[in-house]
Structure 1
Amino acid sequence: MTSDLSLTKCQWKKTCKKSGTLPCNNGCKQRYCREHIELHHRELDAHIQRVYSERDRLVQEMYFEMNTSTESNQAFDTIKKWEQEMMMVIKQVADKARFDVQTLIDKTKLSLKERFDHLTEDVRKESEKNVPIEYDIERLSKAVEQLKMDRHSNKVTPVTIQIQHRTVDFDGVFKMETVESEPILFDIHHVLTNNKSQRTKTVDIGHGTSMVASDNSLLYWQQTQLCLVDQTGSNKKILSWRHSYIEDLCWCSKLNQFFIWTRDGGYSFDDLTFAIVKIKQIPRASLIGHNCCTCVGNTLLLVINRNIELWRPSPKWVCEKKWVNIVEQKEIIRCIRLNENDIVAMTVGSTKIKYRFELRHLSSMIVTKYLELNVALFSTNIVLLPNDEWLLLVQQSESTTKLMVIDKQCQIRQQMDSNEHRVANVALINHRILIIRTKEPNQLHFHYLN
């Protein structure tokens, strides 16, 4: 008799109606048919290899940063400076000690000389008068003989100089401790001007605007194609896109896959296997109004006009929460981003009302801070930066574009006009490579931060 367990349907992400499934035997609760369990194992192997590669890359980068950081160099410079100063002090002390010893020796010589001189002074004076006194000569001779005897018997020897010194305790001279370094803030001027000649790369592409970055690659849409390139803009993979119009793209780190939102629903794209899978639970993007999305960890936010939906990316794709009409009736949410601290950043406004930049908390979606931009936007994009900062692309027209760095207090810390021609979009790979997409010419401009 066949058990109920063996008749469980295959849970492969593609539609499979086969029964008689097998467990994975690796802690996974899913069950698959014989055909798809092999594919599932391959996916798991590819996933773990990607995690290992990312781990190794991060470790190497951190080692390099530790070896070349300004703080490390300053620590070694401090030790070297102390060493040089101590050597100078020690030399000065030793020079003074040598001077003091020589002074004692000279003093002893002078004392001995004075002792000899007084014995011969009288004889010398009489000799100058050419009247030698036999008695004095005899007395002087006896004194010299006595001095010889005293010298041989060690009764008369040069003064012995004894030197005592203190041992300098160098233990505990240096106190070592690790302190948190000041955060390195993103500098848009340095990225786009100072490094322009040596640390940039330009890649010609097709027409389009949409693009999104993962930790290692960039996915962009051009006409009827999806294109995937690595951090150098090379190793391009091109896939034909036969589905509906793409409203927005984002990277789902939880699944290690890209999420593609279209007017006929959502899709996942695996950048290792290049598999594109329809997610039947995800609703269609609205044909009226504006749609955008963002994903961090296990949280996917979908914006449909004035509403926001919170989804959990997983094999089941569950909508967990909805916020309805969170902006004014005539307003739209043009762009939304979520960071790892559950801070939601949005650009909100309408064609007739000037736009603003808002910060909200994910738990309540209540506005905590906002910044009036005082412009009517042609298009906009937000990029996550370190230290709870944001890079805001503000396109007022097809020829007028500003890049703004917004700090955690929702204030403009930096801004500049873009030197690129007709900026269409901007992305950041792993906080190290800024990519600007332009129109006419259709290009990707890679700016390497370090």
Structure 2
Amino acid sequence: MASSSRPCTIDGCKSPSRTVCICCEKCYCFEHLTQHFGRINNKIPPLSDKINGLAKRLNKFTSIEPSYLVALEKWRVEAHRTVEQYYESKRRDLVDDRRAKLEKEVGRVRHVMEKLIRKHDAVQQDVDLLTQDIRLIEQKFSEFQSLRFTIHPLVIDDSLIIQDLFPLPTPCRTMKLPFDEFPALANNEKYLLVHQPPNISLLDRHFSIIKQTPWTHDNIWDMCWSSTLSRFIIVTNEEAFTLDQNTMTMAKCPISSNGELSRVTCSDSALFLLTQGLGPSIFEYKLPPSTKNVKERKSPETCEQCEYIFDLKANNKTLAMVIYNTENDITRLDLKSSINLQRLWSVDVGQGFRCCLLHGEQWMVVDALSRRLYHISSTGKLLKADKYAHQPWNIIQWGKFIIGIRTNEAINLY
């Protein structure tokens, strides 16, 4: 009777397989299964050596302070010294000098009084003058006791100490992706959403595909995450969709616009849609979006009629815009109030294309044409610019410590 057993995976082995390895889904006989498990287990000791080596390096790191920790400690000491000096200066001006003047006045009056007592020749005028001086001293002392100050709290923001991001290190992870004419990215704390035709996929930080679903609509122009809706929002040139990360179900957003769409971004309370072309409009929808609760902002409120808006990002009550002026051929990053679109600051960013918010209210702009990255402070100061090895078409911040950059061929995590 012929055997129905599948052959062993190992070439040349004529023994029938007895089991299937769940890890690699290959069939093995008893002998080669044992060898297979042995090879797997033999990979553990070298990994153990590596983690032990890292532990030793970490112990050495904590025992010998690197130069940047020395600089940080120096800054701390100097900052304390500055506070102490400011305190001493204000105490001297507001308290000590007043007290010294009072003590001097009390001493003068006491000297006059002791002189009159010693000579025993006081007249009524002397008594009246002493009484007046004492009353004035009492008044000044009362004022001194009831001094009131307005003391503003010492505000220390993240811009006091800024990490030098450039040059970027070697990517900790890279994932190859097919070329996309519109390289959109979106992320929340857990997942990264990318378009991998014919699907859109949720990736974890190891670039493993957690979930995916077919994408059957027009080209994706942009994507973002709404923490208020707990949904991703995906925009084509005419429509917007919400995507549930748990079920991967999509729903069409009830929106309407007078032009083709190019960008989408969300604050805690609103959804902003940017149209294409010169002097574009920005449509603001209160969340959840509906056609009944929408406000349109037009040029010149959004930008000049001769300008494109390449990117739009919301943060708290502000909107960051990468704006290109066709008349002077200058691209800038503007930070504006999302309430009235009043410009808060502006900085030139080469040929910048997309931007993202970094930890500490800082910004980064990618310039694909010149292969450059721009690091901007929370106050609109260009901290540093640097070259990038590939054309950076898009950028995200993933949590506090991970930056993702999309090129024509891949996504790199730093």
Normalising by the residue count of structure 2, what TM-score does the alignment of the two structures yield? 0.57
Q: Is the 8 Å Cα contact of residues 362 and 376 (structure 2) preserved in structure 1?
A: yes
Does 2:260 correspond to 1:293? no
Q: Is the 8 Å Cα contact of residues 247 and 285 (structure 1) preserved in structure 2?
A: no
Q: Is the 8 Å Cα contact of residues 258 and 268 (structure 1) preserved in structure 2?
A: yes
Q: Is the 8 Å Cα contact of residues 367 and 393 (structure 2) preserved in structure 1?
A: no
Q: Is the 8 Å Cα contact of residues 354 and 393 (structure 2) preserved in structure 1?
A: no
Q: CA deviation at 1:410?
A: 1.1
Letter in 2 for 1:203: M
Q: Is the 8 Å Cα contact of residues 374 and 382 (structure 2) preserved in structure 1?
A: yes
Among residues 416, 431, 435, which one is paired with 2:386 in the alignment?
Answer: 416
Separation of aligned partners in 2, 1:318 and 1:432: 39
Among residues 296, 308, 312, which one is paired with 1:332 in the alignment?
Answer: 308
Matches within 5 A, 1:277-356: 277-279=251-253, 281-283=254-256, 286-287=259-260, 291-305=262-276, 306-314=280-288, 316=290, 318-325=292-299, 326=301, 327-340=303-316, 342-351=317-326, 353-356=329-332
Cα distance change, pair 317–218 in 1 and its aligned pair in 2 (3 A) = farther
Letter in 1 for 2:267: V
Does 2:366 correspond to 1:366? no
Among residues 195, 201, 204, which one is paired with 2:173 in the alignment?
Answer: 201
Q: Which moved more, 1:218-227 or 1:403-412?
A: 218-227
- Residue aligning to 2:137: none
Q: Is the 8 Å Cα contact of residues 266 and 283 (structure 1) preserved in structure 2?
A: no
Among residues 244, 248, 253, which one is paired with 1:270 in the alignment?
Answer: 244
Matches within 5 A, 1:16-55: none
Q: CA deviation at 1:269?
A: 0.5
Does 2:359 correspond to 1:386? yes
Runs of 4+ residues over 4 Å off in structure 1: 179-182, 315-318
Q: CA deviation at 1:317?
A: 6.6
Q: How many residues align?
A: 257
Q: Is the 8 Å Cα contact of residues 366 and 393 (structure 2) preserved in structure 1?
A: no
Structure 1 stretches of 5 or more lacking a match?
1-67, 79-178
- Residue aligning to 1:406: 376
- Residue aligning to 1:228: 202
Matches within 5 A, 1:239-258: 239-258=213-232
Cα distance change, pair 207–318 in 1 and its aligned pair in 2 (3 A) = farther
State the Cα RMSD in Å.
Answer: 2.8
Letter in 1 for 2:363: W
Cα distance change, pair 271–323 in 1 and its aligned pair in 2 (3 A) = same
Does 2:406 correspond to 1:444? no
Normalising by the residue count of structure 1, what TM-score does the alignment of the two structures yield? 0.52
Q: Is the 8 Å Cα contact of residues 318 and 338 (structure 2) preserved in structure 1?
A: yes
User: 1:28-71, CA deviations, whole angstroms, 9 ceiling, x for partnerless residues?
Assistant: xxxxxxxxxxxxxxxxxxxxxxxxxxxxxxxxxxxxxxxx9x89
Question: SS of the residue aligned with 2:209?
Answer: coil
Structure 2 stretches of 5 or more lacking a match?
1-61, 63-68, 78-153
Separation of aligned partners in 2, 1:429 and 1:386: 10
Letter in 2 for 1:343: T
Q: Is the 8 Å Cα contact of residues 201 and 209 (structure 2) preserved in structure 1?
A: no
Cα distance change, pair 224–286 in 1 and its aligned pair in 2 (3 A) = farther
Q: CA deviation at 1:231?
A: 2.0
Cα distance change, pair 285–212 in 1 and its aligned pair in 2 (3 A) = farther
Separation of aligned partners in 1, 2:413 and 2:378: 26
Cα distance change, pair 248–186 in 1 and its aligned pair in 2 (3 A) = farther
- Residue aligning to 1:51: none
Q: Is the 8 Å Cα contact of residues 437 and 443 (structure 1) preserved in structure 2?
A: yes
- Residue aligning to 1:188: 165
Q: CA deviation at 1:275?
A: 0.7
Q: Is the 8 Å Cα contact of residues 252 and 259 (structure 1) preserved in structure 2?
A: yes
Q: CA deviation at 1:328?
A: 1.4
Q: CA deviation at 1:225?
A: 2.2
Question: SS of the residue aligned with 2:245?
Answer: coil
Q: CA deviation at 1:425?
A: 1.5
Letter in 2 for 1:405: H
User: 1:123-158, CA deviations, whole angstroms, 9 ceiling, x for partnerless residues?
Assistant: xxxxxxxxxxxxxxxxxxxxxxxxxxxxxxxxxxxx
Letter in 1 for 2:179: H
User: 1:330-388, CA deviations, whole angstroms, 9 ceiling, x for partnerless residues?
Assistant: 21211111112x12111112455321211111111011211233x4x3x6111111222
Separation of aligned partners in 2, 1:301 and 1:355: 21
Letter in 2 for 1:438: T
Q: Is the 8 Å Cα contact of residues 201 and 212 (structure 2) preserved in structure 1?
A: yes
Separation of aligned partners in 1, 2:363 and 2:292: 29
Q: CA deviation at 1:206?
A: 2.2
User: 1:227-248, CA deviations, whole angstroms, 9 ceiling, x for partnerless residues?
Assistant: 2101221234332110122121
Question: SS of the residue aligned with 2:353?
Answer: strand
Question: SS of the residue aligned with 2:166?
Answer: helix
Separation of aligned partners in 1, 2:360 and 2:173: 27
Matches within 5 A, 1:42-191: 183=158, 185-189=162-166
Q: CA deviation at 1:270?
A: 0.9
Separation of aligned partners in 1, 2:283 and 2:238: 17
Q: Is the 8 Å Cα contact of residues 262 and 285 (structure 1) preserved in structure 2?
A: no
Does 2:407 correspond to 1:434? no
